[in-house]
Structure formats: structure tokens, C-alpha cells
Amino acid sequence: MILKRLSAYIELHQRVEESALLKEFRLHKNGLAPMIEILIASGHIQKTVNNRGERLPAQVFYSWHEKQLIPMTTLL
């Protein structure tokens, strides 16, 4: 059930920052990670990590794609 809600939320917003998902679904990062991995494996959701330098924490985004893609994580 939560996987469907996560997927629907990402599909609705098209691109969602990880912190927004954690807040919206009241999850801890360790709880979100395995669920997101399942969704990434389905092929519609991709993960993008924006490394903003040494002093700033990385930003993590999840984006929805209508066509199924090869599961991957993009590092910027």
C-alpha cells in the first residue's frame, strides 16, 4: 500500500526531493531506502544525486518516467 502511495506521489509531482518524501510520509531515511529501491527496480522511477560540493550535503531527487527505463541512479 505504501509503495503505491509513494509511486503515485512521485508520479503526480514528476520530480520530488527526498526530504519532501520523508516529511510527507513521516519516514526515516533508513525506512524509505528499501521501498524506493523496489520502485526504482520497477523502471518508472529514477534517482538523481546532486553532490553540491564538500561543505553542502548532497540533494537526492526521485523522478517519474512514463516509459519504463533501465533502473539507475544518476550522480551530478
What is the CATH classification number for the domain harbouring 14?
A: 1.10.10
Look at residue 19 in the predicted model and tell me its pLDDT.
Answer: 95
The region, left, alpha or beta by phi > 0 then psi within -120 to 50, assigned to residue 53 is left
The residues, any chain, with a CB within 8 Å of residue 25's CB and separated by 6 or more, are 2, 5, 6, 9, 32
Look at residue 1 in the predicted model and tell me its pLDDT.
Answer: 82
Task: For residue 29, give the nearest of 50, 5, 58 by alpha carbon.
Answer: 58
Look at residue 23 in the predicted model and tell me its pLDDT.
Answer: 95
Count of domains in the chain?
Answer: 1
Look at residue 9 in the predicted model and tell me its pLDDT.
Answer: 96
Look at residue 76 in the predicted model and tell me its pLDDT.
Answer: 66
Domain encompassing residue 52? 2-75
Look at residue 73 in the predicted model and tell me its pLDDT.
Answer: 73
Per-residue pLDDT tens digits for 33-46: 999 999 999 889 99
Distance CA 75, CA 3 (A): 24
Q: Give the residue ranges of the chain where pLDDT is below 50.
A: none
